Amino acid sequence: MSNSFFEYPMKNRKLRMGMVGGGPGAFIGNVHRIAARLDGQIELVCGAFSSDPLKSVEAGKSLFLSENRVYGSYEEMILKEKNLPENERMDFISIVTPNHVHFGPAKMALENGFDVVCDKPLSFSLEEAVELKKIVEETGRLFCLTHNYTGYPMVRQAKAMVNAGVLGEIRKVVVEYPQGWLSTFLENEGQKQAAWRTDPSRSGKAGCIGDIGTHAENLAEFITGLEIDELAADLTTFVAGRKLDDDGTVLLRFKGGAKGVLMASQISVGEENNLKIRIYGEKAGLEWLQTEPNSLLVKHLDKPMETYRAGGNNGYLFGESTSASRLPAGHPEGYLEAFANLYREFAQVMRLKSEGLPFAINFPTVEDGLRGMKFINAVVASSEKNAAWVKM
Amino acid sequence: MSNSFFEYPMKNRKLRMGMVGGGPGAFIGNVHRIAARLDGQIELVCGAFSSDPLKSVEAGKSLFLSENRVYGSYEEMILKEKNLPENERMDFISIVTPNHVHFGPAKMALENGFDVVCDKPLSFSLEEAVELKKIVEETGRLFCLTHNYTGYPMVRQAKAMVNAGVLGEIRKVVVEYPQGWLSTFLENEGQKQAAWRTDPSRSGKAGCIGDIGTHAENLAEFITGLEIDELAADLTTFVAGRKLDDDGTVLLRFKGGAKGVLMASQISVGEENNLKIRIYGEKAGLEWLQTEPNSLLVKHLDKPMETYRAGGNNGYLFGESTSASRLPAGHPEGYLEAFANLYREFAQVMRLKSEGLPFAINFPTVEDGLRGMKFINAVVASSEKNAAWVKM
Amino acid sequence: MSNSFFEYPMKNRKLRMGMVGGGPGAFIGNVHRIAARLDGQIELVCGAFSSDPLKSVEAGKSLFLSENRVYGSYEEMILKEKNLPENERMDFISIVTPNHVHFGPAKMALENGFDVVCDKPLSFSLEEAVELKKIVEETGRLFCLTHNYTGYPMVRQAKAMVNAGVLGEIRKVVVEYPQGWLSTFLENEGQKQAAWRTDPSRSGKAGCIGDIGTHAENLAEFITGLEIDELAADLTTFVAGRKLDDDGTVLLRFKGGAKGVLMASQISVGEENNLKIRIYGEKAGLEWLQTEPNSLLVKHLDKPMETYRAGGNNGYLFGESTSASRLPAGHPEGYLEAFANLYREFAQVMRLKSEGLPFAINFPTVEDGLRGMKFINAVVASSEKNAAWVKM
Amino acid sequence: MSNSFFEYPMKNRKLRMGMVGGGPGAFIGNVHRIAARLDGQIELVCGAFSSDPLKSVEAGKSLFLSENRVYGSYEEMILKEKNLPENERMDFISIVTPNHVHFGPAKMALENGFDVVCDKPLSFSLEEAVELKKIVEETGRLFCLTHNYTGYPMVRQAKAMVNAGVLGEIRKVVVEYPQGWLSTFLENEGQKQAAWRTDPSRSGKAGCIGDIGTHAENLAEFITGLEIDELAADLTTFVAGRKLDDDGTVLLRFKGGAKGVLMASQISVGEENNLKIRIYGEKAGLEWLQTEPNSLLVKHLDKPMETYRAGGNNGYLFGESTSASRLPAGHPEGYLEAFANLYREFAQVMRLKSEGLPFAINFPTVEDGLRGMKFINAVVASSEKNAAWVKM
């Protein structure tokens, strides 16, 4: 297993993170903080946690930050941090705001010399995504999009098995992300998470498909290495009064001939976060489920199904998987550890890059973010045309 | 639980069955015989087991039949049995041949006064199905189509719960039937089951969608009571040389506004007969899986998921379910018992009808068979039009 | 898979069964009848179904028996059947009465030339068991004790794997049979099954340990081929007023050095019939659970766990397993099919023996029954001595 | 769910931890560090990581510690830290060494004014445990023993349900901890973890029973609130050459009449860390399994089994459970989060105590450690007397 604390001896300090968003009442902000902190490579040094300055101060206090490192806006944070001495100022920012506030801080941070970690989807619109990708290329900065499910050890194992040809040519991909939490008109009851995710002015043109459908799309392309070529989508808004889709099914055709189906739903009552993927090749199949993330089912033509288990000590796994585990098999790791893997790898790449050493990027980047936005656009376009095929 | 042997005291003899098909090498014939025999209500008295007379005789001998009750053709069987004394001749026939030999014996049996049990799909073509339905209506005979999955106790429970309003209005149906056994070009290796199922001259215009897709379609409509209004289908033949589809995904729109997706596949390597259905309503959801058929998962908005368990002794189940069990909970019943439930109910209805008593039909009928053929036709038509919506 | 109807061409008739017990209100009687009937090798021709003659007649009528083959007592049945012409009289009897009425009919049947199938445990007392074994040996008749769990295809697979050395030397056996149905004082509420099973005058000196503990003991010895050498047992009666144990835990030491633990309980509230066995050898381990009987988990030192699946078509299984399946993998078989396997094998051995052909006995016999009675005696003796070690 | 970062606003700094042990090659040291760090309440400021000074320095560097806070021994660390200014010196120590080096640093830390977190089992011998408990009482310092499984949200839920009377009076407890990693003579192959755990001079008088049996014992007493009164144990060393037990089964009798069985094994080949507990009361039963820690099965007499799911947002859970979750249901938390809960609660109690505020202790303490040592002693004594009953 990854004996993590001997892998990063390149610099004698933790990397310094500034955060945009994640104030009181936020969900994903705390997740990012735990993920960043978990492996001891990163420390939070500053933040613009809320558009409400009082809330930002309250958050900073709870997080034991110096008062002078808590800012009223991301603009202020970026400008002031830039002017701090090199041995003090933040190294990168983490953006954990709703979708409509991804582009602004990302662009400004990149253009002012800071690397960026950003929550998904990449942006509010496809146009923003295209421009962000350009800015990343121009500035040469690092950009990590937190499609956190790619950080799970058994997702890494799945990808490595596909790469190694264990499945043969891939024929069929079934990926689904059912949730039930929006089965009622929750956004009308003052639930903050429901409110922004169903609001086109903050979430963008898609609801369910943008919020969790993109995770499914990303997972399918991450593991298989295949690109969706065209799709046909049927989106629905089941809850009266809701402004965006809360359910969608998408027929997929991949480049090279594989086919698939993607289901995302927030009205599948009783489902939690049951992201699941099944991949069938000529020779073998794989099945992985987020709620039991430490198992990967491997299916064969003529022999019994195998249950591969995550664990740093499991010699039959690929290194891509064991290096993503902190524990031996049977001690379950979960969502936070998978999320932390992205931060850990981001930190490692920052160090390697800063020292001019070679590095490989395993975490999702702005490219993945751009594909996600193209996916959203294609799905919405197809659904508006009664599930006609649309190129992605 | 159903104390089965006190439920049928109406006549003092077993019902007599004649069989068409099911000779050496057949799969489903033996299943039908076990199912018919299991509850002690039916005895096999005659058969035309094969188009090869020697094989038919061989089968009859193994089944301890009198030589004079083993026939060379279904035509011979029907005519000769008709002329036997009433207290000797068969009461009904069971048709277990490939699809292209369903219509002939069914029509002839019905028109000669015999009730019919027939394997699915109903017929080779939609035209035959339409005509068969007409003949059933005209003759007033009983007709049971063995969509055997409807016989499972927990499928009955699911249907009863939907009827009782436990789910509220249904929004979403996900039904799938993945198999992997046709992942290779098996029909080219002399495998009899593969050969006829992939042969358009025996199977009809659909392969996978006809063979198992119709089971999925039937199950969805059986449990929900909803009718598919229109569908958009993407069929594929993945295995080179194969003449019919071996994989298909179908977007569903039900009358009344519910939506769904149906997946059928015979190239999902490593999958067995994993027929699974998930139904989500406004208030609750259900999940059932054929490979663990004695459990029904019931999902709620605000309380823990429940695992309903089949068993004649489980007081919390509806009578529709307990009457379909022979054992207390925890002693698993399976595929054969579910299949036998159709035969048991068919026998019971035959008795009630013969005595002029009122009866209700729970088993699938020629109507279900006709819907199945319409489904096949619509799916193939849609797929030929690049997944355009087609009315069913 | 076992294409069962071509395996028994040795005689041109079904074997004829007489039944003792199994009248109205019985549970296991109907199970035996279904099991006997399922494969079409056996027909019920007569019975003494109840000590109440009216009830016996009622049962016979429901079972479509001739009135003159329904008897008022097992003595009458054995004597009268013996005097019937050979081509009419029963071939064997099936004893499905409470424990205190096993010995009488078994002894009489054996001594009058009939083979015997008998429900477990073998007898009311160890003394009866010793004598029965002697009678079987003296008469040379066939005797099958229906430890039905040994009939499951994956139990057969487990036994074959142990025999083949897949596990290496066995170290540890954990076998358990938890039920919850006697969590309350059910025998006081007129429940017939509870009444006799908790009554020392009908059940014998043990309650839970005799009723289901013996199944666990038999399963452990059947699969492993090991014999329990000594044991230490702690029995308890948790429900006030109950006359026999309703829970017990037993430390096991096998000949050869393996160890184990056996748990049986009828107060494990919410448990159904969760018979489960885990076996660990030097090289591999096995796990099997009755409620999911078609899977066998195979565990290894250095590679992923495998899920072996029952199914006549699964080429990686031993013939001992595939021959016990009637269906391909994924179509679940259950308790009744496992039970039927014992009857089918019993019938096959009867035929082979009658024709002077060689045969092997896979079903449990009077020897297994005797071991079960020794087990009960040792457990009760140990518990009375505060869990001291007692030789079995 | 626990919005953790607003719960600890009592002091404006993180608590400072010093560590004893956990150098290169250690397993549990890194676990403690992640757990301490995860919620952002604690920072590692110093350590004596190894008895080899060079290794200690290497560890300190990797952990970004100042060189002058890396010590060559725990004695040096405690003495030097004590002399640092109050706003700089460590607040407590974390002891993550093998068992024979628990007592020394714990005693010295307590007597020099430091609170203590210590890995389990409490000590090398019962005598040490008794003395440690006395020292804790005399010094009034806080002491947390990291029986980390008590930190799981669903273990907390189970305990709360027992407390609330959901189960009624408890009758039966089945707790097991099977592992397979010591199925071979691993300690002979230079595996460091195997080496000390099987070495009586470092581990104490028990092997498997001390290493994981104590976890099982603690979990059973933690959830049920019952105390083991007496026990009968059968320990075995299956692997030739091994110096301590690698397998044990223990019959349990609790004060008040409940019974149970505890199994611990390190030769159960193929098992990982499958700690599992089942508890049966008069009215309901519970089942929890470490490898799927976010589910708690709740079993009833007359209604379907429920699957309670961990998640801060699950309104049907007790507060004791939701406060131990960081995420909504369906985003799995695991071993590290459960471990971190102990550190988080320890930190919270340290703060409350330091401010003179009332506090409740949920984490295991020196009392639990003493019970664990009594358990080890009783088990070994019983086994030496051929599984005679021994009072605990």
Q: What is the pLDDT of residues D56-81, one digit of tens each?
A: 999 999 999 999 999 999 999 999 99
Stated length of chain B = 392
> Rounded CA gap, C195 and C190, in Å?
7
Q: Does D330 touch chain B (CB under 8 A)?
A: no
Reference D287, options C275, B311, C271; nearest CA is C271
> Rounded CA gap, B179 and B176, in Å?
10
Residue B145 — very low, low, confident or very high, per pLDDT cuts 50/70/90? very high
Please state whether beta strands D115-118 and B295-300 pair in parallel, antiparallel, or not at all (unpaired): unpaired
Per CATH, C4-148+359-364 and C150-329+370-384 having the same topology is answered no
DSSP letter assigned to residue A337: H
Q: Does D130 touch chain A (CB under 8 A)?
A: no
**Check: complex ipTM more than 0.85:** yes
Closest partner CB to D389 (pick from C172, C305, C386): C386
Q: Which residues of B touch D309 (CB under 8 A)?
A: 304-305
pLDDT of residue D192: 86
Are A33 and D14 a contacting pair at CB < 8 A?
no
Average pLDDT over residues B21-31: 91
pLDDT of residue A358: 94
Q: Does D247 touch chain C (CB under 8 A)?
A: yes
Helix-helix angle B126-139:B103-111, to 10 degrees = 10
Q: What are the CA-CA distances from residue D386 to residues A186, C234, D262, D377 (Å)? A: 63, 15, 17, 14
> Rounded CA gap, A341 and A335, in Å?
10
Residue D24 — very low, low, confident or very high, per pLDDT cuts 50/70/90? confident
**C-beta of residue A17 within 8 angstroms of C-beta of residue A79:** no
pLDDT of residue C9: 45
Nearest Cα residue in chain B from A280: B268
Are B329 and C273 a contacting pair at CB < 8 A?
yes
Q: Does D301 touch chain B (CB under 8 A)?
A: no
Please state whether beta strands D170-178 and D259-265 pair in parallel, antiparallel, or not at all (unpaired): parallel
Nearest Cα residue in chain B from C34: B38
DSSP letter assigned to residue C63: T
Closest partner CB to B291 (pick from C13, C62, C330): C330
pLDDT of residue D12: 78
pLDDT of residue A6: 42
In chain D, where the domains are located: 4-148+359-364, 151-329+370-384
Q: Does A234 touch chain B (CB under 8 A)?
A: yes
Q: Which residues of D touch C282 (CB under 8 A)?
A: 183, 269
Average pLDDT over residues B120-147: 97
Percent of chain D with pLDDT over 90: 93
Nearest Cα residue in chain D from B316: D303
> Neighbours of A (≥3 Cβ pairs closer than 8 A)?
B, C, D
* Residue bearing the bigger pLDDT, C128 or A4: C128
Are D330 and A290 a contacting pair at CB < 8 A?
yes
Closest partner CB to A9 (pick from D14, D30, D62): D62
Residue C11 — very low, low, confident or very high, per pLDDT cuts 50/70/90? low
**C-beta of residue D247 within 8 angstroms of C-beta of residue D275:** no
**C-beta of residue B144 within 8 angstroms of C-beta of residue B116:** yes
Are C306 and A304 a contacting pair at CB < 8 A?
yes
Are B298 and D305 a contacting pair at CB < 8 A?
no
Average pLDDT over residues B291-313: 95
Residues of chain A with pLDDT under 50: 1-10
Q: Does A89 touch chain D (CB under 8 A)?
A: no
Q: How many CB pairs under 8 A join C and D?
A: 116
Closest partner CB to D326 (pick from A3, A34, A61): A34
Percent of chain C with pLDDT over 70: 97
Most C CBs within 10 A among B4, B69, B291, hence the mutation to make, goes to B291
Report the run of H or E that residue C247 belongs to, with start and end: strand C247-254
What is the per-residue pLDDT across D239-273, written as a single tens digit (0 to 9) for each? 999 999 999 999 999 999 999 999 999 999 999 99
Are B64 and C294 a contacting pair at CB < 8 A?
no
Helices (H), chain C: 28-38, 53-62, 74-82, 103-111, 126-139, 153-163, 192-197, 200-203, 208, 214-224, 319-322, 335-354, 366-384
Closest CA of chain D from A188, distance in Å: 18
pLDDT at D2 over 70: no
Q: Which CATH number fits domain C150-329+370-384: 3.30.360.10, 3.40.50.1970, 3.40.50.720, 3.30.200.20?
A: 3.30.360.10
Average pLDDT over residues B215-239: 98
> Rounded CA gap, D215 and D275, in Å?
9
Q: Does B38 touch chain C (CB under 8 A)?
A: yes
Closest partner CB to A307 (pick from C307, C309, C316): C307
Are B302 and D315 a contacting pair at CB < 8 A?
yes
Q: Which residues of D touch A3 (CB under 8 A)?
A: 24, 30
Average pLDDT over residues B151-155: 98
Q: Does A68 touch chain D (CB under 8 A)?
A: no
pLDDT of residue C24: 86
Q: Does D270 touch chain C (CB under 8 A)?
A: yes
Are B64 and C40 a contacting pair at CB < 8 A?
yes
Q: What one-character-per-residue DSSP string does C77-121 give?
A: HHHHHHTS-TTTS-SEEEE-S-GGGTHHHHHHHHHTT-EEEEPSS
**Burial level of B13, CB count in 10 A (0-12/13-18/19+)?**
exposed
Superfamily of domain covering D4-148+359-364: NAD(P)-binding Rossmann-like Domain (3.40.50.720)
> What's the CATH fold of domain B151-328+370-384?
Dihydrodipicolinate Reductase; domain 2 (3.30.360)
Q: Does C313 touch chain A (CB under 8 A)?
A: no
* Structure token pair of residue B170: 């249904």
pLDDT at C6 over 70: no
Q: How many CB pairs under 8 A join B and C?
A: 138
> Rounded CA gap, D296 and D285, in Å?
10
Are C24 and B9 a contacting pair at CB < 8 A?
no
Most A CBs within 10 A among D49, D291, D308, D325, hence the mutation to make, goes to D291
Q: Which CATH number fits domain A150-328+370-384: 3.40.50.10440, 3.40.50.620, 3.40.30.10, 3.30.360.10?
A: 3.30.360.10
> Neighbours of B (≥3 Cβ pairs closer than 8 A)?
A, C, D
Closest partner CB to C334 (pick from B181, B328, B333): B333
Q: Which CATH number fits domain A4-148: 3.40.50.10800, 3.30.930.10, 3.30.830.10, 3.40.50.720?
A: 3.40.50.720
Q: Does C288 touch chain D (CB under 8 A)?
A: no
Number of helices (H) and strands (E) in chain A: give both, helices first.
13, 14
The mean of the pLDDT values for chain D is 95
The mean of the pLDDT values for chain B is 95
pLDDT of residue B9: 45
* Structure token pair of residue A243: 């402004």
Would you say the C-alpha torsion D321, D323, D329, D332 has a positive or negative sign? Answer: negative
Q: Which residues of A touch C305 (CB under 8 A)?
A: 306-307, 309
Closest partner CB to A301 (pick from B253, B269, B282): B269
Asked, as a colleague might, if the bond just before D85 is cis with ω within 30 of 0, I would say: no
Superfamily of domain covering D151-329+370-384: Dihydrodipicolinate Reductase; domain 2 (3.30.360.10)
pLDDT at C7 over 60: no
Report the run of H or E that residue D79 belongs to, with start and end: helix D74-82
pLDDT of residue B328: 93
Please state whether beta strands C228-236 and A247-254 pair in parallel, antiparallel, or not at all (unpaired): unpaired
Q: Which residues of C touch A292 (CB under 8 A)?
A: none
Closest partner CB to C3 (pick from B30, B181, B294): B30
**C-beta of residue C214 within 8 angstroms of C-beta of residue C375:** yes
Q: What are phi and psi of B57, to 5 degrees?
A: -65, -45
> The pTM is what?
0.96
pLDDT of residue A7: 46
Q: Does B236 touch chain C (CB under 8 A)?
A: no
C270 in helix, strand or coil?
Answer: coil
Residue D11 — very low, low, confident or very high, per pLDDT cuts 50/70/90? low
SS (H, E, C) C3-40: CHHHCCCCCCCCEEEEEECCCCCCCHHHHHHHHHHHCC
> Rounded CA gap, D114 and D119, in Å?
16
Are B315 and D306 a contacting pair at CB < 8 A?
no
